[in-house]
Structure 1
Amino acid sequence: MNARFRDELLNGEIFNSLREAQVLIEQWRIHYNTIRPHSALGYRPPAPESIVPIDQ
């Protein structure tokens, strides 16, 4: 994952602040772990997002 992180995000971005870096890295992490298809999994996402309703 570190090589993909570097290739897909860090090599293509110039961060103007620490906060900007934190936000963009978190967005990339969520995309990588929930949406992006992985070849080792038959081009399915590793952990599709699920919403669990909370009864009030």
Structure 2
Amino acid sequence: MSSVKKVTDHPVEDAYGLEIQEGDVYWMFGKTVVSDLNLKTYLIEEHNMECFRAME
């Protein structure tokens, strides 16, 4: 993830109430903060995106 920017003024929590800690990766959708841990949930619930898992 070479395009990840390190910031000192990170948000306190994401849209799901998860506390953003130092070193966490989070995404900004306009003014909505979404932790990397909640990204799949956010995309499915808020943007009706489908999620797939590749099988062997």
Give the TM-score normalised by the residue count of structure 2: 0.29
Q: Which has the larger radius of gyration?
A: 1
Please state which structure has a larger fraction of its residues in strand: 2
Please state which structure has a larger fraction of its residues in helix: 1
